[in-house]
Amino acid sequence: MQVLDDIADWVRDAGRVTALTGAGISTESGIPDFRGPQGVWTKDPKAERLSTLHAYMTDRDVRIQAWQLR
């Protein structure tokens, strides 16, 4: 199939390749997830609020904390 051959050529010729995957790949690699039983957001629900646009736009305290973390 020509399309797959073209993609294989691009990957072979690339200096660097990045793969965007779903959460299952990182979890299998030992990187903590966000929503699971031992997830970052499960252990600290405030951490989830810091990552949502709605909370950022509607909650002054979330904005202040986000700015302080930067």
Measured distance CA(45)–CA(35) in Å, rounded:
10
Select from 31, 55, 57 the least CA-distant residue to 45: 55
Per-residue pLDDT of the chain (70 residues; tens, 9 = 90+): 899 999 999 999 999 999 888 767 777 777 778 888 888 888 888 888 888 999 999 999 999 998 998 8
Name the amino acid, one letter, at 25.
I
Measured distance CA(37)–CA(39) in Å, rounded:
6
